[in-house]
Amino acid sequence: MQSGRVAPVDNSRKEERKREKVKEEKTKAETKAAVVAMTPMLKQFYELKGKHPDAVLLFRCGDFYETYSQDAEKASKILGITLTKSSHTKDADGKPLAMAGFPYHALDTYLPKLIRAGERVAICDQLESKKT
């Protein structure tokens, strides 16, 4: 006969999953709001970020990989790169958009640092459009 005890529940894991879910939902909401009035490039960034909310999105812009918003803040801290704020472009909260980037040829240096810091990383490279 069982003594009526309940097996202990790992509350810390449940709380962590709950926090991650809230964070993911917040990112999705910010993404949806931000896409409304943006440049085509930022619109594409936020659409991709909405599909990969748990990853730092490295977005190829010309000769640089750029990060924006919360990703820029993370990348700046982890990689020791400059965090800038746009005076022209606003984020979903109407504040200047945070940006941080590095030259594309330095990807082999910076990508391992992000991964070692425990970050998931999504990389978006530019593709040439088909010529008709």
pLDDT, tens digit, 9 for 90 and up, residues 47-68: 899 999 999 999 999 999 999 9
Give the 3-state secondary structure of residue 43. helix
Asked whether the whole model's pTM tops 0.85, one would answer: no
pLDDT, tens digit, 9 for 90 and up, residues 90-104: 776 778 899 999 999
Write the CA distances from 66 to 14, 39, 50, 78, 123, integer angstroms. 34, 15, 16, 14, 10
Write the CA distances from 46 to 2, 28, 41, 96, 105, integer angstroms. 53, 9, 9, 15, 24
